[in-house]
Amino acid sequence: MLFNSVAFLLFLPIVFILYWFVCNRSLRWQNVLVLMASYFFYGWWSWKFMVLLGVSTFLDYLYGFGVGLKDRKKARLFLWLSVLNNLGILGVFKYYNFFALQFQQALALLGLHANVVLLQVAIPIGISFYTFHGMSYVFDIYRGEQRPVKNFIDYAVFVSFFPLLVAGPIERASHLLPQIQKKRFFNYTQAADGCRLILWGLFKKVVIADTLAVIVDNIFSHYHDLHGISLVVGAIAFSFQIYGDFSGYSDIALGTAKLFGFELLTNFRFPYFSRDIAEFWRRWHISLSSWFRDYLYIPLGGSKQGKLKGVRNTFIIFLVSGFWHGANWKYIAWGGIHACGFLPLLLLNRNRKHTSDVVAEKRKLPTGKELSQMVLTFAFVTFAWVFFRAADMTEAIGYLKGAVTNYKQPKDFLMCLTVCCYIIPLIACDWWLRRNERSLQVPQLAKPVVYLVLALLVLFYFGKQTNFIYFQF
């Protein structure tokens, strides 16, 4: 079920009414309702996806008890069983065909011919997200940061909570499970904040991202015939398309969770105002970045065991992050590009320069130095996004080559103007809100007008139900 669909606009108030007016006297029944709603939400695409989600959830629930044993040898065995189980699910549904085709091509280079068997199955939506939920749970138990949950319903809600099920944020058991296990009371202020976040998320998705998507699709489909400037504008448009799409989803997810008394982890903090790549990754898809940091980068030794191992671990985490997004060399290239951008900061010990401050925190405008840093960082990120958006490596390289050499074709000023008309207001709004990513800081007198305008724009553009980009991951 899509957030930007009529079905969800009917589904959400029904669940909300049942949750607060029918099941409000019993925490157990509230959690049962959330679980049923989550499986209905997920099964809207296919009931087969529900089966895989249920099996994955049940296995990690059992593994949690094994990992919690005092015998560390047995606990480690169950930990590896969980890792192999989750990676096995990902491997079969998401990566098997990729490796099979690579094996076939490798044999062909040796003059050997092989007919590999490919799986003709759809990749279950959100599979990378809920498998990472399960693995973080057993990792935390093994490290003594979480105790095994006895109530299966509570654990199942943690894995499948519908606002975050298909595209995150990737929650931690230590953060979400305590909220699931304690009594929740309706809070008007929290619910109002949730509604505002949902409205803002829908605006970014329906009005900004979906409009830019049409332009971006057309540019990438005809990049051979377009002027170089049009290709540059197309890459910039995709940067804001994927930002509006994914951060819009996260806003809707956080807002929806607030309606039911939950606070989810922040997933975005205005990443395009970053002053270097390290800061960008502290602001973009924060839950995934922190997941890889805590469960891969630090266990590998991080950067505390010498520069050489720090460089190795940096490339590992970025390449794995790229491969997490999809079974295609373009995603690995995308991760490798970001690793190369991060590397100079690591070697110069500047990768933690901007860890908590906000650009121009006490000023209305950035300094010239801050502005140049943000522009350079955005340009680098946009360059990398071309690999992410292109169909494959060949198209990405051809697109970038065209952006540099295609200057014989006529310029499309109307397209460039249209892109600017959508991204400039978004940049201005984000700059106004940059000190608090959780709420819409609007002057009291202007609130009714602002909310009405946003709602009318969403309704005007609401129509074509397009998937969120990160659903495919």
**Looking at residue 358, what is its pLDDT?**
87
The residues, ordered by sequence, that sit 6+ positions from 16 with a Cβ below 8 Å of its Cβ are 259, 260
Nearest Cα neighbor of 417 from 209, 232, 233 is 233
**Looking at residue 466, what is its pLDDT?**
73
Task: Check: CB of residue 246 under 8 Å from CB of residue 470.
Answer: yes
Give the predicted TM-score (pTM) of the model.
0.92
Q: Read off the DSSP letter of residue 146.
A: S
Type of residue at 68: G
Please determine, for residue 203, whether its predicted confidence score (pLDDT) is greater than 90: yes
Residue with tokens 């906000």: 358
Helical axes 152-160 vs 127-142, angle rounded to 10°: 130
**Looking at residue 465, what is its pLDDT?**
63
Please determine, for residue 396, whether its predicted confidence score (pLDDT) is greater than 90: yes
**Higher-scoring residue by pLDDT: 156, 91:** 156
**Looking at residue 185, what is its pLDDT?**
92
Q: Which of 22-26, 214-218, 225-229, 412-416 has the lowest mean pLDDT?
A: 412-416
**Looking at residue 223, what is its pLDDT?**
92
SS3 (DSSP) at 327:
coil
Q: Where are the domains of the chain?
A: 6-185, 190-275+354-472
Burial 332-341 (b: 16+ CB within 10 A, else e): bbbbbbbbeb
Q: Compute the distance between CA of residue 331 and CA of residue 325 in angstroms, rounded to an integer.
A: 7
Q: Compute the distance between CA of residue 27 and CA of residue 13 in angstroms, rounded to an integer.
A: 19
Q: Which of 1-10, 197-206, 417-426 has the lowest mean pLDDT?
A: 1-10
Q: Which of 13-22, 34-43, 431-440 has the lowest mean pLDDT?
A: 431-440
**Higher-scoring residue by pLDDT: 275, 360:** 275
**Looking at residue 123, what is its pLDDT?**
81
Work out the number of other CB atoms within 10 angstroms of the CB of residue 101. 13
Please determine, for residue 209, whether its predicted confidence score (pLDDT) is greater than 80: yes
**Looking at residue 437, what is its pLDDT?**
58
Task: Check: CB of residue 60 under 8 Å from CB of residue 159.
Answer: yes
In which band, very low, low, confident or very high, does the pLDDT at 116 lie, cut at 50, 70 and 90?
confident
Cα Rg of the chain (Å, integer)? 23
In which band, very low, low, confident or very high, does the pLDDT at 353 lie, cut at 50, 70 and 90?
confident
SS3 (DSSP) at 166:
coil
Positions of E strands within 237-357: none
227 as an active site residue: the answer is no
Task: Check: CB of residue 401 under 8 Å from CB of residue 230.
Answer: no
Please determine, for residue 446, whether its predicted confidence score (pLDDT) is greater than 80: no
Please determine, for residue 23, whether its predicted confidence score (pLDDT) is greater than 90: yes
User: How far, rounded to the nearest angstrom, does the alpha carbon of residue 321 sit from its chain's CA centroid?
Assistant: 11
Q: Compute the distance between CA of residue 305 and CA of residue 155 in angstroms, rounded to an integer.
A: 36
**Max Cα–Cα distance, the chain, nearest Å:** 74
Q: Compute the distance between CA of residue 306 and CA of residue 346 in angstroms, rounded to an integer.
A: 11
Please determine, for residue 190, whether its predicted confidence score (pLDDT) is greater than 90: yes
Work out the number of other CB atoms within 10 angstroms of the CB of residue 383. 15
Type of residue at 149: V
In which band, very low, low, confident or very high, does the pLDDT at 407 lie, cut at 50, 70 and 90?
confident
Please determine, for residue 10, whether its predicted confidence score (pLDDT) is greater than 80: yes
In which band, very low, low, confident or very high, does the pLDDT at 361 lie, cut at 50, 70 and 90?
confident
Q: Length of the chain in residues, anyone? A: 473
Cis peptide before 13 (omega within 30 of 0): no
**Looking at residue 439, what is its pLDDT?**
56
Please determine, for residue 440, whether its predicted confidence score (pLDDT) is greater than 70: no
Interval 374-389 mean pLDDT:
97
Interval 174-193 mean pLDDT:
93
In which band, very low, low, confident or very high, does the pLDDT at 38 lie, cut at 50, 70 and 90?
very high
- Of the candidates 133, 227, 285, 325, the residue annotated as catalytic is 325
In which band, very low, low, confident or very high, does the pLDDT at 473 lie, cut at 50, 70 and 90?
low
Residue with tokens 């009931």: 47
CA count, 13 A, side-chain hemisphere, 100? 14
Tokens of 266: 């922040």
Residue with tokens 């989600």: 53
Interval 240-259 mean pLDDT:
95
Q: Read off the DSSP letter of residue 272.
A: G
Please determine, for residue 438, whether its predicted confidence score (pLDDT) is greater than 70: no
Please determine, for residue 24, whether its predicted confidence score (pLDDT) is greater than 70: yes
Interval 262-275 mean pLDDT:
93
Q: How far is CA 413 from CA 227, 396, 401, 402, 424, in A?
A: 10, 23, 21, 18, 16
The residues, ordered by sequence, that sit 6+ positions from 193 with a Cβ below 8 Å of its Cβ are 255, 258, 438, 439
Q: How far is CA 473 from CA 252, 325, 458, in A?
A: 18, 5, 26
Averaged pLDDT score across all residues of the chain = 90
Q: Read off the DSSP letter of residue 276.
A: S
Type of residue at 370: E
Percentage with pLDDT > 70 across the chain? 98
Interval 390-408 mean pLDDT:
92
Helical axes 173-181 vs 152-160, angle rounded to 10°: 130
